[in-house]
């Protein structure tokens, strides 16, 4: 299942969440082609082969930072804030779930000991003081 949350003040996609219990076979794109981070959920049958390949070197220019979290174990509560800083969504993410934060704001609360996540974002990462601003 892919859940998309749009801004209430601007018609932009704020986040896409992939919940691991999706059953539909095939490729399901959670992001549009113009997003910095591209997210697709794949449900593949045994024996599927992806032929060996390399990606072509394509110059890409980006403005902004997008971020993805993949929960490996445990669980987190993710709060999502609109472009005007209003909280518009709260999601519980568990092992195997993924969220891509395209724009807007977010917070995270860890709900279980030894929770582990992968955080992926476009670089370079310049540290929290240079890369984020608080939401008040």
Give residue-wise pLDDT tens across range 9-52. Answer: 998 888 777 777 667 788 888 888 888 888 888 888 899 999 99
Q: Please tell me the pTM assigned to this model.
A: 0.84
In 10 A of CB 9, how many CB atoms?
13
Residue length of the chain: 136
Domains of the chain as residue ranges with CATH: 2-42+62-122 (2.60.120)
Measured CA to CA, the distance from residue 16 to residue 23 in angstroms comes to: 17
Q: In angstroms, how far is the first alpha carbon of the chain from the final one?
A: 32
Q: Dump pLDDT digits (tens) for 62-104.
A: 888 899 999 999 999 999 999 999 999 998 999 999 999 999 9
Cβ distance 69 to 15 under 8 Å?
no
Measured CA to CA, the distance from residue 39 to residue 30 in angstroms comes to: 5
């Amino acid at each position: 299942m892919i859940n998309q949350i749009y801004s209430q003040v601007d018609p932009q996609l704020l986040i896409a969440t992939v919940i691991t219990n999706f059953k539909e076979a095939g490729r399901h794109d959670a992001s549009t082609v113009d997003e910095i981070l591209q997210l697709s959920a794949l449900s593949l049958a045994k024996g599927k082969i992806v032929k060996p390949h390399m990606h072509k070197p394509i110059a890409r220019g980006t403005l902004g930072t997008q971020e993805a979290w993949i929960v490996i174990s445990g669980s987190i509560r993710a709060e999502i804030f609109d472009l005007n800083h209003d909280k518009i969504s709260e999601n519980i993410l568990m092992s195997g779930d993924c969220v891509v934060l395209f724009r807007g704001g977010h917070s995270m609360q860890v709900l279980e000991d030894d929770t582990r996540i992968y955080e992926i974002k476009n670089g370079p990462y310049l540290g929290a003081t240079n890369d984020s601003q608080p939401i008040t």
